Structure 1
Amino acid sequence: MPPRTAWGMWWASWASLTGSRGAGVGELELTLRPRVPMGYLVALPAVASLGVMDALVDAGNSEAGLLWPRDVALVPAGRPAFELDGRGGYDDGGVFVRLAIRRTLGDGDDAAMPDDAAMPDDAAIERAVRERVSTWEGDVAAGRSAGGPWAAFLPDYFDHELRMGREVEVTYPNGRVMARGRLAGFDIWGRATVVDESGHELEFSAEQALLRSPDRE
């Protein structure tokens, strides 16, 4: 285990990626202790986003999907239904990640949901998230994620990212547009690849840039 000063610096670096984005409609906070290499913990919000998506699908929202790097959306609503952030540390029990799951749909947004669908409650979300994290932990222990933290769940994430193969804008963290192109995929460390209008591949992490659909500000 690194000394607390080094640990704090490492997590401070990650906090710039997953720091608070403001209050939502409601928030669920979970403390998770996956037994994976410390460098893999940055992938935990993405793993958890798959769990939130599972809970939405189980509640009848068959079109629910993902928005890189860690948000979950209802396709008809056109914007995140849940935003996930993580912050880590360690205590006498070892390393942990404190995961915040924010419901961001406002009044009237659920009108776009299927008639027979519902929003999952906190208990259903927690069960689905913990199940995904447990599966990931098992995959890492079995060597199925040796190349990088996203390796074991990357195919599933790829299949459910709602903008995959579509035109996107690549923006700096301040919102200024850096490039436009087609979302082509992700690598085993969670970096996104966009093929720009001239055919060049752009690869970047969520610390460097974000994605948005061209018809959204």
Structure 2
Amino acid sequence: MTDLTSVDLSSSTMLALDTVPSTNDIAVDAGRAGAEHGWAVRASVQTAGRGRRGHSWTSPNGSLYLSIVLRPQVPMQMLMGLPAVTSLGVLDALEGLGLQGRVGVKWPNDIVSVPREIPTPHSSQFNRKLVGILVEARSSDMGAFAVAGIGVNIISPVDAPPASPEVQAAIDAVASVRRQQAEATGANNVPRLDPISLAEALPEGRALPTCEDLAKAVREAVLARVARWQRAIAAGLGAAGPIAPILSSYVDNLPMLGKPVSVVAQNGNTLAVGYFTGIDAWGRAEVKLGTGETKTFSAEVVSLREV
């Protein structure tokens, strides 16, 4: 448990720390301690950063590692919509930096981009990961809440300053355990996207944001998207499912939509091959198979890879 006895848990707080195991873990502890909607924490380095399904998220100095406590006033089952809502908020922030038309969502919620050298990118060229997003729902005495963990590659990991021997030892220890777990489950057989950084993606002449400024912009944009989504749910627009109020804008930002894909299980096995044709109101991917049948797949158990 994180010691939060002297930490302001109000909504305006953004706690800035140096090296931590995981900002999501700190935000979960803060949420259970009563942190308000919008409370956030960022760190310079994570020694145990993680993505979906426990995948490691390399977190060296020089990039953004941010977690936000979210308490939208919606029924608990609607929290399943937060990964998609968060991804649209992050897109808004990145487009504000000058990346309009150069960022998209890789289902279900990571952000992909293209190098600046590609002047007019085709949808199939959005194949490098700029942002990792992990949304985790939790319970507390104040009711259910979620934590949105957001990692943005501001600079390439290879350009990051070296960690101290103690920090590097902690990073290596966690990475070793996760490699063993991935080998045991077959998760290391799942193809992963190559990374890209803002330093590589931003147009010429655009200055890199500081971690502090980017964290503020991302939090503001995510909270704005959550507020709009919450109002839509309250108005009854989520009756079909939590993604329904944002489905149109979400689908518009999926570069892989309409492409041939393989459906890959957590152990790396290919479950199906077909065309990625849509998203349902619960955020499940719709894939049209060669037989003509359309099947839905949950992001909890599969990923999609363009073929």
TM-score range (shorter-chain normalised) is 0.7 to 0.9
**Structure 2 residue identity aligned to 1:111:** E
CA contact (8 A) 2:276 2:287 kept: yes
Q: Deviations over 1:73-129 (max 9, x none)?
A: 114462221111122223343321111112257347332432244566111011100
CA distance in 2, matches of 1:102, 1:210: 19
**Structure 1 residue identity aligned to 2:82:** L
1:171 corresponds in structure 2 to 264
1:102 corresponds in structure 2 to 151
SS of the residue corresponding to residue 94 of structure 2 reads helix
CA contact (8 A) 1:48 1:129 kept: yes
1:205 corresponds in structure 2 to 298
How does 1:151-190 map onto structure 2 within 5 Å? 151-190=244-283
1:21 corresponds in structure 2 to 55
1:4 corresponds in structure 2 to none
Residues 94 and 144 from structure 1, CA distance in 2 versus in 1: closer, same or farther, beyond 3 angstroms?
same
Tell me the matched-pair count.
198
Residues 81 and 123 from structure 1, CA distance in 2 versus in 1: closer, same or farther, beyond 3 angstroms?
same
CA distance in 2, matches of 1:49, 1:119: 21
CA contact (8 A) 2:80 2:282 kept: no
Computed over aligned residues only, the root mean square deviation of the Cα atoms, in angstroms, reads 2.1
**Structure 2 residue identity aligned to 1:94:** G
2:37 corresponds in structure 1 to none
How far 1:19 moved relative to its partner? Answer: 4.1
How far 1:37 moved relative to its partner? Answer: 0.7
How far 1:209 moved relative to its partner? Answer: 1.6
**Structure 1 residue identity aligned to 2:156:** G
CA contact (8 A) 2:258 2:277 kept: yes
2:233 corresponds in structure 1 to 140
**Structure 2 residue identity aligned to 1:113:** L
SS of the residue corresponding to residue 136 of structure 2 reads strand
Residues 119 and 150 from structure 1, CA distance in 2 versus in 1: closer, same or farther, beyond 3 angstroms?
farther
How far 1:191 moved relative to its partner? Answer: 0.9
**Structure 2 residue identity aligned to 1:53:** L
SS of the residue corresponding to residue 99 of structure 2 reads coil
1:55 corresponds in structure 2 to 93
Identical positions, percent: 36
CA distance in 2, matches of 1:201, 1:211: 15
CA distance in 1, matches of 2:233, 2:292: 35
SS of the residue corresponding to residue 79 of structure 2 reads helix
Is residue 64 of structure 1 aligned with residue 103 of structure 2?
yes
Q: Deviations over 1:180-202 (max 9, x none)?
A: 22110011011111112333212
Moved more, 107-116 or 170-179: 107-116
What's the TM-score, normalizing by structure 1?
Answer: 0.83
CA distance in 2, matches of 1:208, 1:19: 9
CA distance in 2, matches of 1:169, 1:113: 30
Residues 21 and 117 from structure 1, CA distance in 2 versus in 1: closer, same or farther, beyond 3 angstroms?
farther
- Runs of 5+ unmatched residues, structure 1: 1-16
Aligned partner (choices 130, 142, 158) of residue 93 of structure 1? 142
Residues 174 and 35 from structure 1, CA distance in 2 versus in 1: closer, same or farther, beyond 3 angstroms?
same
Aligned partner (choices 127, 139, 151) of residue 78 of structure 1? 127
What's the TM-score, normalizing by structure 2?
Answer: 0.60
1:9 corresponds in structure 2 to none
Q: Deviations over 1:32-91 (max 9, x none)?
A: 100111011122111101100111111101121101111111144622211111222233
